[in-house]
Amino acid sequence: MRNEQLMEDMKGILRVLQTAYDYPVDIEYTINLSPKGEYLIALLQCRPLQLTQEGDPVSIPIFGSDAVTYLETKGVSMGFSRKFAVDRIVYIDAIAYYQMAYRDKYRVRDALSAINWACREKNKNLVLLTPGRICTSSPELGVPSVFSDISEFNAIVEVSESRAGYIPELSYGSHIFQDLVEAGILYSAVFEGGSTLAFDPEALKQERNRLGDYCPDDPDLQEIIHVSHVCHKRVTLYYDMATEHLLLVKRPPTVKKNQQ
């Protein structure tokens, strides 16, 4: 980054490509450096980025102890600002998934796909909390889905779990991340550190598990995948892009004041 000429060359490459495509671009590249400081930039891949209109700023409310905070993160989310009432929350338990036999992990993928397709064009707001990297080709690193298995979700949260070896990374260059961006899906991550202000999967499990509505022939997955129907439970997701602050909360009931 201190090599000003190298930075100017990178800017020039991006400028030429953006002009040629008439669109912002994402690139993948390598830089080979010699002991003398000479360098060779190899452009490996270029992909035009589809952009959507930025959302209005969202004010993150402060709730009292009577609210249930399922998730709150800061500095690890990507997407435009938004606020919406949540209809479904799908939580995949990292430890239970890790302990599955390798061949059985594909059953989790199939169940996730069944949930996704059952909600297609139903105008439902869905949130997914999944261990490790979503849509990986290695089932031991996360659920081996493809984009069509998660396309209906409004927000996807990758959960790190050191006991299971899952540590998600924010990946600007991966194909799946670009698919999320272009589809307008909000991305966040749960790290075991300061960026995660709150994460309460046990509170999620207090809701009735509706997995059987989607996978009636695979009851063993009940201990691994928890599907909550929260459409009438006052669950709201807030995200402010300016502060990268995300809050998934079950709001307390509104108390009506008696009219004088």
Q: What is the pLDDT of residue 37?
A: 85
pLDDT tens, position by position, 12-53: 999 999 899 887 788 889 999 999 889 999 999 887 766 555
Amino acid letter at 118? A
Q: What is the pLDDT of residue 252?
A: 87
Distances 32 to 15, 28, 58, 96, 106 between C-alpha atoms, Å: 21, 14, 43, 43, 39
Q: What is the pLDDT of residue 236?
A: 97
Q: Give start and end residues of each alpha helix (H) in 93-154.
A: 94-98, 105-118
For residue 149, what is the DSSP state?
G
pLDDT tens, position by position, 87-120: 999 999 999 999 999 999 999 999 999 999 999 9
Q: How confident is the model at residue 172 (pLDDT cuts 50, 70, 90)?
A: very low
Q: What is the pLDDT of residue 257?
A: 46
pTM of the model: 0.79
If 0-12 CB within 10 Å is exposed, 13-18 middle and 19+ buried, where does residue 80 land? Answer: middle
